């Protein structure tokens, strides 16, 4: 019988496979969402309270009202920019970065090239 930790791990793995972001995607975000993502990219993982403290420490012009922060976090989580673990004030947010595609060049190409260069 799987335990709660097994279910949470499966949920995290499922959410990580849903896509994620690249740096180029940030340019398309509205300013408030982009601001949150830039903060998140510095830390990669923050609790809800840490996010509130971080936003509050910004200059007045860069701060977001709590309701706007909550709405932005909901949108970013729904669109798989952030992975939310838990709910409400106990939530932890983690950046969902896309995995980089591996090289599509066959490994034999490199050995053939090395052989030709040695001749």
How does pLDDT run along the chain (119 residues), one tens digit per residue? 566 666 656 665 555 554 556 666 777 888 888 899 989 988 889 999 999 999 999 899 889 999 999 999 999 998 888 999 998 889 999 988 765 444 555 556 667 767 777 76
Q: What residue segments make up the domains of the chain, in order of their start?
A: 4-118
The pLDDT value given to residue 11: 60
Q: How far apart are CA 4 and CA 1, in angstroms?
A: 10
CATH number of 4-118: 1.10.10.10
**What pLDDT is attached to residue 100?**
44
**Global pTM value:** 0.63
């Amino acid at each position: 019988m799987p335990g709660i930790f097994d279910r949470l791990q499966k949920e995290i793995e499922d959410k990580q496979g849903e896509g994620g972001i690249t740096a180029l995607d940030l340019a398309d975000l509205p300013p408030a969402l982009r601001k949150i993502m830039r903060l998140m990219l510095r830390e990669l993982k923050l609790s809800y309270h840490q996010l509130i403290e971080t936003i509050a420490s910004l200059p007045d012009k860069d701060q977001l009202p709590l309701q706007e922060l909550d709405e932005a976090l909901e949108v970013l989580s729904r669109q798989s920019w952030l992975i939310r673990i838990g709910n409400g004030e106990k939530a932890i947010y983690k950046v969902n970065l896309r995995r980089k595609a591996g090289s599509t060049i066959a490994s034999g190409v490199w050995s053939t090239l090395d052989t030709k260069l040695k001749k």
